[in-house]
Structure 1
Amino acid sequence: MTVNRALRLVAGIFILVSVLLAVYVNKNWWWFTAFIGVNLIQSAFTNWCPMMTILKKIGLKDDSC
C-alpha cells in the first residue's frame, strides 16, 4: 500500500468515526470532522499532511518510488 492510498483510507475512517461519535456520543465531535476537512483542504494546496509524514515513518512507500 502506498502513502496516498493509506492517507485516503485513514481520512475516510476518521471522518466516519467522527460522524458516528457526533451522532451517538457528543455533538462536539463535529469539530474533529471539520478539522479533518480543513486539513485535507490545506494539504491540497501545500502537498503536505501530517499523516503523510507518519505513514512514511512507519514504512509505507511513496507513489514515486
Structure 2
Amino acid sequence: MNIERVVMAFAGGMILLSLLLYLVHSPYWLLLTAFVGGNLLQAVFTGFCPLAIVLGFFGMKTGMVFDRKK
C-alpha cells in the first residue's frame, strides 16, 4: 500500500467510527467527523497532511492512486 491509500483508508475509518460512536454514545462525536472532513478538504488545497508526513517518515512510498494508465 502507498501513502495515499493509507490516508484514505484511515480517514474513512475515522469517519465511520465517529458516526458509530455518535449513534451509541454522544452527538459530540460528530465533531471528529467534521475535523476529519475539514482536514481532508484543507489537504486538497494546501498539500499538507500530517498523517502523510508521519507515514513518509516511516518509509512508506507515495503512489498514483487514481492513475488509470496502468
Greater helix proportion: 1
Offset at 1:57? 2.0
Deviation sequence 1:4-61 (CA, Å, 0-9, x none): 0111000010000010001101110000100001000000001111111121122211
TM-score with structure 2 setting the length: 0.84
Largest Rg, 1 or 2: 2
Q: Which runs of 5+ in 2 are unaligned?
A: 65-70
How many percent of aligned residue pairs carry the same amino acid? 38
Amino acid at match of 2:26: N
TM-score with structure 1 setting the length: 0.90
Runs of 4+ in structure 1 displaced over 4 angstroms? none
